[in-house]
Structure 1
Amino acid sequence: MLTRDGVRLDADIYRPDADGEFPVLLMRQPYGRALASTVVYAHPTWYAAHGYIVVIQDVRGRGTSQGNFKLFTHEIEDGEYTVKWAANLPGSTGKVGMYGFSYQGMTQLYAAAAKPSALKTICPAMIGYDLYTDWAYEGGAFCLQSNLAWAIQLATETARIKKDEKAYQALLAASRHLPLHDPIPTHPEILKTFAPDSFYHEWLAHSQPDKYWEKLSPKTYLKDVDLPMFHIGGWFDTYLRGTLNLYKDISARSAYRQELLIGPWAHLPWSRKVGAVDFGPDAASPVDRMQLCWFDQFLKGVDTGLLDELPVWLFYMGSNVWQGFPSLSISKGRSYFLSTTGLASIREGEGILATTCPETSTDDVLVHDPWRPVPSNGGHAAIPAGCFERTHIDYRSDVLTYTTESLETDLYLAGDVVVEVWCMSDKKSYDLCAVLSEIFPNGRVYNLTQGYLRCQDGNHRVRRTIHLQATCAKIFRNHALRLSLSASCFPAYTMNPGNNSASSIDAEIITLMVSCGGESLSQIILPVVTP
């Protein structure tokens, strides 16, 4: 097809082996249309066999499509034209639905922003709603590992398309071993040399939520858009914030069905084993069959019974089952307060989480050494993401740990987790990483969720609020919970040098004081659900 400005976009079209007219399922993606996101979805032939024309298109400047690729910039207009073109394909009923995850989820939101009449429904999975807070930065800190890996991936594909062998081989090698230890860690030489026009440089330059992000974010363009949407996320997906923020905004005002499914998955694959933990057979992706039911309902007008079912489906880690809910407002906050002997970084059991407030105030001191930062280990921001054993990290002397007694009854969590800590630093700027883990009776510790915050004005003792990624888990009786605090989580996030320098040679040792008890009530607020 040709865009408004005459650029040719190429697509593969899969058709049912039958006569008649069929609705169209459209996916717009930048990774080569033959792949068709089969890392998480069934092949397009499966959807075609169920009575759909399936269109997988290379976006502008990717695959064999013409034009220059500039991240997200052309997707509203190109998406609108593609929907209109797909609706008029031979054998089409004129009704179009879209599906796909990550970039392919974003192209759905941009196409919907143009409000083409043929677009009847979308199924956005693992997306950024506000690109600054949901994708590029978390708590004001740059998401280094995921952004750098993606930038190198896209740059490698660009070099392949241009048949630049030298750039391709160099970038391919960098994709296998990320350049995380250059003199300026956030500005690796490989991207400066071989991808000077990468989005990555712009994202680093715009470290605050300014007009740049507003112009680029789907949130800006969806204020008066309303469609039936099937929202899909993962508890360990780095973009879960975007999925949840979009769902909350749209469901609060939509006249149509909004359905939400969150599995125990990382960004990919959507399978039963996530990191080091096997969540059982029910954790295998039900998305293809659910999408087929969704499209039958909204593109074919089939009464599938979908509208009679609960709209929110969450996977309960621990019990390893799916649970339906009428909404996301299902939990009530319960505070666990931090108390300490002052040795929470040295010995297990010296830092405590309890439902009663400690009467006297005690401080823990944490020292961050840029020579040996606390390493990232699973969660949603690291590569690989997921659930991993982390005892070796909690034993470090630059990690503060606060642990509950063994639970006397099962505890159900579902929703947002918030940590509030009173702290100050000897440097003007510092970071806080908070990890919530489950401790098994055998002493092994597995992460449930985490959050990150870049703090300014560090010389004053203030209460800092860290928003952890939403989670959903059953914590069994005789298990315990642990909150771990550190001043780094590298390379998931850029390290804070403690000053305004970008060079690693100027990074400083940061001493951080966390206060517990008395008037300094530090706490973690858990989303507790009554079973």
Structure 2
Amino acid sequence: MATTAPVREVQIEYDVETPMRDGTILRSTVYRPAAGGRYPVLLSRTPYGRDAGTDPLYFDPLRAARNGYVVVRQDVRGRYGSDGVFDPSHQEADDGHDTVQWAADLPYCDGTVGMWGRSYFAETQWRAAMTRPSALRAIVPGVSAAHEPVDGFQMRGGARELGSRWVWVHGPIGPDLLARQHAGDPAARQQAMTGLLAGLDSASTGDLLATLPLSALPEPDPATAGLMASLARDVTDTEWDRTRLDGRYDRVQAPALHIGGWFDVFLAGTLGQYRATADLAAERGTRPPRLVIGPWPHVGVAGVCGELDFGPTASGAFVDLTDLHLRWYDATLKGQEEQLTGDPVRLFVMGENRWRGYDRYPVPGARAEEWYLQPDGGLDRRVASASAPDIYDYDPRDPVPTVGGSTLLTPSLPPGPYDQRAIEARPDVLTYTSAVLQQPYTVLGAVSVTLHAASSAPDTDFVARLVDVHPDGRAMGVADGIIRASARESYPEPGVVRPVPPTPIEPDTVYEYRIDLWATGQTFLPGHRIRVDVTSSSHPRWDRNLNTGHSAYDSADTAVARQRIFHDPDRPSLITLTVVEP
């Protein structure tokens, strides 16, 4: 942290106004040392209410102010205390640029600005940074979305992110939209809020999101309806070009400290942004980025996630994420390079439950190893012998329920590692399990599944999941992914998205499908077994494939699909794991 002693008093100013280039006024809360002087500004821009509670395990603004920084928390355009109309993503570049330059000119600012925050706060950082405001010298995006909108933000493998999209629109976003919509009519406002809460309650039980077609989902108010229109778009929609950040990081000059979680719904964004900025820094000869990935979901940095306790060292308190932020800013904004210590890449490895340090990611010395699905439900390093395919029927009217994972759903459907045995007992879920491990086996990096499969339907989905089977039988989910058969050409290999028009499949024809499970840090301990689950749904996380070739947004007609998974020398199905030494 800063080498000077912490200040004794912090002054807090509310409703500080910032004019945008079009005259719209945005409002902020400012924390600053009360003794006067000039300091760097740490700016965060949020749609969730600038005075809403913060998570001090992630970043403590009061502690930052006591260590010689001015902290500005601003409501973005059209939210809470700020004027204007909220237009997610599209408004944040110009508004972010204007706010950074305004902050640099404050009488108590020394002319330098850093940005911080996670999720949408992270997106506001990237969009501001891409405009290259001269005062912006460093950013710290956490659990960052919008890297590639059709790879985890709005869609995944061609399937729509139904659950997270609906919950975001109706939970964090909906109430303030409705309050603004009915500002002059308390009765109408109360009625709209009642409808919103009823919808959230119904979503928590799973009943609401079972609605077909999805366009018939009840909306409490037109103010929220437009934000759900993304469920009608396919992978080639031009809207994704407007929101996509991938391929545009060359516009960014500010160095980045990236923070993410193995169970974050936007993990691919964090890792993709780190790799992009690392490549650019190497090319330019500038400061390299840093990366921290914990065993965390999208919200929260505790040492407990899902049904597993990863120990006290896994929590944000032990890691001291506020300290990591401040050391980064001390180096980048105050020139105190000696404060930037430790490995540039810190990854928590679950199972062994300890942090590992590296100089880059993907980590040095990592290698890809393939485990092949076997005809007897086994999983082995050897290719399976000649065998008949495994068969199951997928009925969209009875989808496999979402149980944990890298999700952002209602509190009744929490994220993280959960026991999968209940869903593995279903007839529409196949399991492939290794022999008991005799030595620790550490997976640290990319994970993907290659399926050779056929379906009786013109379109369908395949879901794959990596599972850690404990000696007591618990089957704890580690990572998963999905591919929509009609979108297979848009996801030709893990980590690569090339949007092309969806194309149906020929029924009962074998295709090769690549399912990106993104990445993990997991040591499978002696006595444990590695398992791969294969099925065709995870609802309400992803929208159901109706097996008809029609979108669930427009149609309620369904068909049962007979799925065949092949595992023979000519058509091997396998999981590819990135392995490092224990």
Unaligned stretches of 5+ residues in structure 2: 1-17, 184-188, 487-504
- Which of 204, 221, 227 pairs up with 1:199? 227
SS of equivalent residue, structure 1 residue 381: coil
SS of equivalent residue, structure 1 residue 301: coil
Structure 2 matches for 1:252-271, cutoff 5 A?
252-254=279-281, 255-271=286-302
1:334 aligned residue: 369
1:512 aligned residue: 563
Deviations 1:395-450 (A, max 9, x none): 11110000000011110110111111111100010101101101111111101111
Q: CA deviation at 1:501?
A: 4.9
Structure-2-length-normalised TM-score: 0.86
2:249 aligned residue: 222
- Which of 306, 309, 315 pairs up with 2:348? 315
Over the matched positions of the two proteins, sequence identity in percent amounts to 33
State the one-letter code of the partner of 1:359. Answer: S
SS of equivalent residue, structure 2 residue 428: coil
Sort the Cα spacing of 1:382 and 1:105 in 2 relative to 1 into closer, same or farther, 3 A: closer
Structure 2 matches for 1:323-402, cutoff 5 A?
323-330=356-363, 331-340=366-375, 350-381=376-407, 383=409, 384-402=414-432
SS of equivalent residue, structure 2 residue 322: helix
State the one-letter code of the partner of 1:309. Answer: G
Range with greater deviation from structure 2 (377-386 or 288-297): 377-386
Cα distance in 2 for partners of 1:362, 1:449 equals: 27
Native 8 Å contact 1:40 1:268 kept in 2: no
Q: CA deviation at 1:305?
A: 4.4
Deviations 1:112-147 (A, max 9, x none): 011000000000111121222230100010011111
- Which of 153, 167, 179 pairs up with 1:135? 153
- Which of 166, 170, 173 pairs up with 2:198? 173
Cα distance in 2 for partners of 1:392, 1:367 equals: 18
1:156 pairs with 2:190: no
Cα distance in 2 for partners of 1:458, 1:298 equals: 56
1:346 aligned residue: none
Cα distance in 1 for partners of 2:572, 2:562 equals: 20
Cα distance in 1 for partners of 2:216, 2:234 equals: 14
Structure-1-length-normalised TM-score: 0.94
SS of equivalent residue, structure 1 residue 215: helix
- Which of 476, 499, 502 pairs up with 1:446? 476
Sort the Cα spacing of 1:36 and 1:110 in 2 relative to 1 into closer, same or farther, 3 A: farther
Cα distance in 2 for partners of 1:399, 1:334 equals: 24
Q: CA deviation at 1:50?
A: 1.1
Cα distance in 1 for partners of 2:342, 2:546 equals: 51
SS of equivalent residue, structure 1 residue 31: coil
1:298 aligned residue: 332
Sort the Cα spacing of 1:209 and 1:246 in 2 relative to 1 into closer, same or farther, 3 A: farther
1:116 pairs with 2:149: no
SS of equivalent residue, structure 1 residue 174: helix
Deviations 1:227-255 (A, max 9, x none): 21000110000001111111111101112
Sort the Cα spacing of 1:493 and 1:134 in 2 relative to 1 into closer, same or farther, 3 A: closer
Unaligned stretches of 5+ residues in structure 1: 341-349
Q: What is the RMSD computed on CA atoms of the aligned residues?
A: 1.6
Sort the Cα spacing of 1:183 and 1:519 in 2 relative to 1 into closer, same or farther, 3 A: closer
Structure 2 matches for 1:281-296, cutoff 5 A?
281-285=312-316, 286=319, 287-296=321-330
SS of equivalent residue, structure 1 residue 61: coil
Sort the Cα spacing of 1:141 and 1:183 in 2 relative to 1 into closer, same or farther, 3 A: closer
SS of equivalent residue, structure 1 residue 365: strand
- Which of 411, 425, 436 pairs up with 2:455? 425
- Which of 34, 37, 44 pairs up with 1:20? 37
SS of equivalent residue, structure 1 residue 157: helix
Native 8 Å contact 1:143 1:381 kept in 2: no
1:185 aligned residue: 214
SS of equivalent residue, structure 1 residue 289: helix
State the one-letter code of the partner of 1:317. Answer: M
2:485 aligned residue: 455
Range with greater deviation from structure 2 (28-37 or 79-88): 28-37
SS of equivalent residue, structure 1 residue 351: coil
Native 8 Å contact 2:162 2:231 kept in 1: no
State the one-letter code of the partner of 2:45. Answer: R
2:278 aligned residue: 251
Cα distance in 2 for partners of 1:102, 1:62 equals: 16
SS of equivalent residue, structure 1 residue 15: strand
Range with greater deviation from structure 2 (58-67 or 177-186): 177-186
Native 8 Å contact 1:449 1:469 kept in 2: yes
Deviations 1:372-411 (A, max 9, x none): 2111111113631101111111111110000000011110
Range with greater deviation from structure 2 (473-482 or 452-461): 452-461
Deviations 1:141-175 (A, max 9, x none): 00111111001121222112344222122113322
Q: CA deviation at 1:187?
A: 4.6
1:107 aligned residue: 124
Cα distance in 1 for partners of 2:110, 2:269 equals: 32
1:94 aligned residue: 111
SS of equivalent residue, structure 1 residue 219: coil
- Which of 69, 89, 97 pairs up with 2:86? 69
